[in-house]
Amino acid sequence: MLTDRSERSFPRVIIIGAGFGGVEAARKFKDKEVEVLLIDRNNFHTFQPLMYQVATGTLAADAISFPIRKMFKSQMNFHFRMAEVKKIDEKSKIVTTSVGDYDYDYLIVATGATSNFFGNKQVEKYALPMKSIREALDIRSYVLQNLEAAVLRKNTKDRQRFLNFVIVGGGPTGVELSGAIAEIQLHMLKKDYPELSTHEMNVYLVEGTDKILGALSEKSSQDASRYLQELGVQLKLNTQVTGYDGNTITFSNGESIETKIVIWGAGVMGQFPEGIPAEIIQRGNKITTDGQCRVEGMTHIYAIGDVSAMITKQNPRGLPGVAPVAQQQGSYVAEHILSSVNGQSSADFKYFDKGSMATVGRNRAVVDMGNFHMKGFLAWLTWMFVHLVSIFGFRNRMVTFINWTVKFFTKNSGIRLIINKYDRSAIEPESEIEKN
């Protein structure tokens, strides 16, 4: 049971956000003389690197989600509240949530990031982001809805906007998602939709710079580009999106594509509750921290993961927004707080880069580990192993492995159910559907 400040024997650490960083920090406090309170709007942790497989039907949502309370069932000093955090009051050390106020001695802000549309409200209204399970399920439903809508059109020209799939952003999310959708075109379209031709469907990957996977090596970028093109994905590099009205996406070079579905993975921005001073917010809506993950100018408050901006001489642009950074910072901050409770000092945080990887459809991936580069089938097996062992829960690992095995041998993209239709104002009225 949660206790009042005056009745506590140990300091309370509140962690906002059950992403990679928040969960790792909470786990490090096991059997320590602190009281841990984790707050999140959902009652589950999501393994975000496999979100695109939910969006494309390879995995069900519960295969990459794990209940928070079950995750910490053996940690006696752990408490959880499913709530929306409204405000942080540093002066009174109070966190205000949708279910009440909670006081703290130490606070870890691990609220992660959301999609960044760079101020383009029109694109934000009509494009589909993919930063949550709900959004991934919306994409899955809407991809299938577009295929069903295409079947109802007799005229090939009328079908085209329902069969043009545009993914914006050439990072790992965009690359993996465009490869997965291209495999739907190659392996599933003709089987499930014999009225449609594979030649009618187009998958576009739009990137604003001159290469995809910019954070990886030049070799990985080139290999991934080749793999995508072999799958039939059309790359549009050095291309910025200027607008999207739900029917047509336009670009800075004057080109446009008629499409009903644009998936946005071009950028992220930090998200956090009220109470963080505006003057310490960096580019990308990130909170400035020192070398020990402490929020600049605030006492006993830390920020980790995608919401933090640790600008140092070694990392003038901050750390990359990847899961290992959040996990390592979560572990570091937990140890830092325990040292602080015991009156001990800590060295600054140092990120150990274990490498980067991305899969490009079936049997192909790229892996960078220091100066070592790997590609193709062996890289794909490496990618599978790393992701499989990283998922929480034995059941989730087994379900994922079985789904991957079935897909490997059958080339079946799996779950093609429209449970909850995705609806938006840009969808054509039924009266415009061409009748058979």
Q: Three-class SS of residue 59?
A: coil
Q: How far apart are alpha carbons 413 and 392 in whole angstroms?
A: 23
Q: Three-class SS of residue 138?
A: helix
Please answer whether residues 86 and 274 qualify as being in contact, where contact means their C-beta atoms are separated by less than 8 angstroms: yes
- If we measure between CA atoms, which residue out of 58, 101, 166, 69 comes closest to residue 413? 58
The residues, any chain, with a CB within 8 Å of residue 100's CB and separated by 6 or more, are 83
Measuring CA to CA, how many Å separate 325 from each of 24, 318, 375?
11, 11, 24
DSSP-assigned beta bridge partners for residue 79: 37
- If we measure between CA atoms, which residue out of 113, 115, 129, 131 comes closest to residue 21? 113
DSSP-assigned beta bridge partners for residue 356: 368
Residue 210 CA, chain-centre distance (Å), reads: 23
Dihedral of CA 139/142/146/148: which sign? positive
Considering 24, 176, 183, 207, which one is annotated as catalytic?
A: 176
The residues, any chain, with a CB within 8 Å of residue 90's CB and separated by 6 or more, are 275, 298, 299, 301
DSSP structure string for 217-276: -HHHHHHHHHHHHHHTPEEE-S--EEEE-SSEEEETTS-EEE-SEEEE-S-EEE---BTS
Q: How far apart are the first and last CA of the chain?
A: 63
Asked if 124 is an active-site residue, the reply is no
Give me the active site residues, please: 176
